A and B are shown apart, each in its own frame.
Chain A
Amino acid sequence: MSSNWLTQFPDMSRRDLLTIRQTLDGAYRHFSREYGDAIEAAFHPLLKFLIWFDNLLIHTPWWIIIIAITSLVYAATRSWKLSLGVVISLLLIGYFGMWENTMRTLSIITVCTLISIALGIPIGILMARSDRAQSIITPLLDVMQTMPAFVYLIPVVMLLGIGKIPGVIAVVIYAIPPVIRLTNLGIRLVSKETLEAATAFGATPTQRLLGVQLPLAMPTIMAGINQTIMMALAMVVIASMIGVNGLGQPVLRSITNQYFTLGLLNGLAIVALAIIFDRVSQSYAKRTQKHLEGAHND
Chain B
Amino acid sequence: MTEHNIHTNEPSLEKSTTLIEIEGLYQIFGKTPKEVLPKVKAGASKEEVLAETGHTVGLQDINLNIKRGEIFVIMGLSGSGKSTLIRHFNRLIDPTAGLIRVDGDNIMEFSMKDLTTFRRHKMSMVFQHFGLMPHRTVLENVGYGLSIKGENKKDWEEKANQWLETVGLTGYGEQYPSQLSGGQQQRVGLARALCTDAEILLMDEAFSALDPLIRSEMQEQLLDLQENLQKTIIFITHDLDEALRLGDRIAVLKDGKLVQVGNPVDIVLNPADEYVRAFAKDVNRARALSVQTIMTANTEKLTGKVAGDVRGEFPKDKDHAFVFDEEGYQGILSRAKLDDMDDNTTLKEVLLPLTSVRQSTPLQDVIPIALTSPFDIPVINKKGILKGRIEAKKLADVLSP
Contact = CB atoms under 8 A, between A and B. Distances in A.
A79 B165 CA distance: 38
Given A193-B127, A199-B119, A200-B92, A215 B135 contact: yes
B129 A211 contact: no
Looking at A196, A204, A207, the one whose CB has the most chain B CB atoms below 10 A away is A196
Contacts, number: 82
Contacts of B27: none
B92 A201 contact: no
A202 interface: yes
A165 B220 CA distance: 68
Interface string B161-190: 000000000000000111111000000000
A291 B176 contact: yes
A: interface residue count bin: 20 to 34
Interface in A197-231: 197-204, 207, 211-212, 215-216
A22 interface: no
A197 B185 CA distance: 14
A292 B181 CA distance: 15
B125 A200 contact: yes
A14 interface: no
B134 interface: yes
A294 B178 contact: yes
B92 to A, nearest CB: 6
A203 B150 CA distance: 11
B202 interface: yes
A210 to B, nearest CB: 11
A258 interface: no
Interface in A251-298: 289-292, 294-296, 298
B131 interface: yes
A138 interface: no
A215 B134 CA distance: 10
A55 interface: no
Nearest to B123: A200
A23 interface: no
Contact of A291 (B117, B125, B134, B145): B134
Contacts of A291: 134-136, 176-178
A216 B148 contact: no
A204 B133 contact: no
A71 interface: no
Contacts of B180: 298
Nearest to B93: A196
Nearest to A194: B131
A155 B156 CA distance: 57
Looking at A191, A197, A204, A295, the one whose CB has the most chain B CB atoms below 10 A away is A197
Contacts of A198: 133, 144, 148
B360 interface: no
B80 interface: no
Contacts of A199: 92, 119
B345 interface: no
Contact of B148 (A194, A211, A294): A211
B179 A298 contact: yes
B153 interface: no
B181 to A, nearest CB: 8
B134 A292 contact: yes
B90 A200 contact: yes
B277 interface: no
Given A201-B124, A207-B148, A196 B131 contact: yes
B131 A197 contact: yes
Which 6 A-B residue pairings sit nearest by Cβ, starting from the closest? A202-B120, A197-B131, A202-B119, A295-B178, A291-B176, A193-B131
Interface of B: 87, 90, 92, 116-121, 123-125, 127-136, 144-145, 148-149, 176-181, 192, 196, 202
25 contacts: A191-B129, A191-B131, A193-B127, A193-B129, A194-B133, A196-B92, A196-B131, A197-B125, A200-B123, A200-B124, A201-B120, A201-B148, A202-B116, A202-B120, A202-B121, A202-B148, A203-B116, A204-B148, A289-B135, A291-B176, A291-B177, A292-B134, A295-B134, A295-B178, A296-B178
Interface of A: 191, 193-194, 196-204, 207, 211-212, 215-216, 289-292, 294-296, 298
